[in-house]
Amino acid sequence: MAFPPLDFSKDRLKLLDQRKLPGAVEWLECRTAEEVVQAIRQMVVRGAPAIGVAAGYGLYLGIQNFEGRREDLLKLLEEKAALLKEARPTAVNLAWAVERVKKRVLSEKSRSADELKIAALQEAEKIREEDDRLCRAIGKHGARLFKAGETALTHCNAGGLATSGYGTALAVFYTLQEEGKAVSVYATETRPLLQGARLTAWELTQSRIPVTLVCESSVASLMRAGKIKRVVVGADRIAANGDTANKIGTYGIALLAKAHQIPFYIAAPSSTFDFSISSGKKIPIENRSSEEITEGFGKRTAPAGIRTENPAFDVTPHKLIAAFITEKGVLNPPYSKSLKVLRLSNDS
Ligand code: MRU
């Protein structure tokens, strides 16, 4: 099954409001780059590939009403690109998509302003279509790692809602189902915003894949009881050495998987690899508001004024990762070799 979280037509970006799921299915319309930035910040749309796709359209929306000289349009393009890239810091797909649309526009030499706008929209569409293809390829490669009937654990939501519709980590489960191989899933609820409970559990239930919702704190016991055979999660940014940023709590799960000798996989498209940074130490980690912890979903659960720390992501060292499942295949250690090959194929 697919769960596209966005739709673009008639110069409007419609976003499935993921803050409201699973209680209500509501769509929010964005007509400007600024509205797209707000929607990304407030997590109407979230998940690394999905915010990249949204930002690609956002850049088109930022220039679509412009009338005037080509040089002035290019200035506006730079301004809106900078704005969009700052919406959230950790997922590299955001800056990657914005840069890609910008590069396409800049490559259109001696074209009119109107033609440049069309080029921006075409590139944004291309990113969305490509993402769907890549996710399906990730699903196919990942499914080969599984034996029929296995139970896997996933954290946060790396499903259709986090991409253009088919997911990365959840793509593996969707593919297994399509291939007629049984799979069942433990989904962690994922504090504080509950992407696992609200989004992953919803997607998998809709898809009729058996899913059991658990608190992150149950993972160690479940692993010791032998109930989890594999872990598959997504990624927001992967450094050149394989260190991987993903939703806060991922690192702890990876350590537990290592302690229980359970393979821990990262499923991600090659656009999530950031070869410009050598290690995870250089990945910027987003800090979000205290209220997400102290009064999430409108209910106060901690004393007013309490000091909090709320990093949205953590970094899992590459040594804890059994393999990367990408659209180009499964990359095994040593990553100093396999990621180099990916880098070369990204560049070509
Ligand atoms: O804060 P979020 O909900 O945007 O975080 C999402 C994640 O951490 C996902 O696991 C990641 O973006 C991969 S999505 C295919």
Ligand 1 atom nearest residue 312's Cα: 1
Structure tokens at 71: 């040089």
Q: Rounded to the nearest 5 degrees, what angle is found at the Cα of 133, between the Cα atoms of 64 and 49?
A: 55
Give the residue from 241, 244, 169 showing the smallest Cα distance to 200: 169
Q: Give residue-wise pLDDT tens across range 292-348.
A: 999 999 999 999 999 999 999 999 999 999 999 999 999 999 999 999 999 998 887
| Ligand 1 proximity of 48 Cβ (cutoff 6 Å) | yes
| Ligand 1 proximity of 235 Cβ (cutoff 6 Å) | yes
Q: Which domains does the chain have, with CATH numbers?
A: 6-135 (1.20.120.420), 139-347 (3.40.50.10470)
* For range 44-66, the mean pLDDT: 98
Whether residue 110 is predicted with pLDDT greater than 90 in this model: the reply is no
pLDDT value at residue 346: 85
CA 243 to chain centre: 16
The model's confidence at residue 109, banded by pLDDT at 50, 70 and 90, is confident
pLDDT value at residue 348: 78
Give the residue from 331, 314, 348 showing the smallest Cα distance to 141: 331
Ligand 1 midpoint to CA 106 (Å): 30
Complete edge-to-edge strand list for the sheet that includes strand 12-16: 6-9, 12-16, 27-30
Contact assessment for residue 82 and residue 38, using Cβ atoms and an 8 Å cutoff: no
Contact assessment for residue 165 and residue 191, using Cβ atoms and an 8 Å cutoff: no
| Ligand 1 proximity of 247 Cβ (cutoff 6 Å) | yes
| Ligand 1 proximity of 44 Cβ (cutoff 6 Å) | no
Ligand 1 atom nearest residue 246's Cα: 8
Distance CA 257, CA 219 (A): 9
| Ligand 1 proximity of 156 Cβ (cutoff 6 Å) | yes
Structure tokens at 159: 């499903």
Look-up of token digits 């396999």: 338
Ligand 1 midpoint to CA 68 (Å): 39
Judge whether 7 counts as a catalytic residue: no
pLDDT value at residue 326: 98
Ligand 1 atom nearest residue 156's Cα: 10
Options 17, 132, 236, 243, the catalytic residue: 236
pLDDT value at residue 188: 98
| Ligand 1 proximity of 158 Cβ (cutoff 6 Å) | yes
Ligand 1 atom nearest residue 91's Cα: 12
Cα-Cα-Cα-Cα torsion 235, 238, 243, 246, nearest 10 degrees, comes to -20
Q: Identify the DSSP state of 49.
A: H
Ligand 1 midpoint to CA 178 (Å): 24
Ligand 1 midpoint to CA 155 (Å): 9
* For range 187-199, the mean pLDDT: 98
- Dihedral sign for Cα 13, 19, 2, 274, please: positive
DSSP 3-state of 284: coil
- Dihedral sign for Cα 112, 117, 123, 129, please: negative
| Ligand 1 proximity of 91 Cβ (cutoff 6 Å) | yes
Distance CA 56, CA 84 (A): 9
Distance CA 212, CA 82 (A): 41
- Dihedral sign for Cα 110, 112, 113, 118, please: negative
Q: Give residue-wise pLDDT tens across range 153-188.
A: 999 999 999 999 999 999 999 999 999 999 999 999
Bridge partners for 238 per DSSP: 244, 273
Q: Identify the DSSP state of 266.
A: E
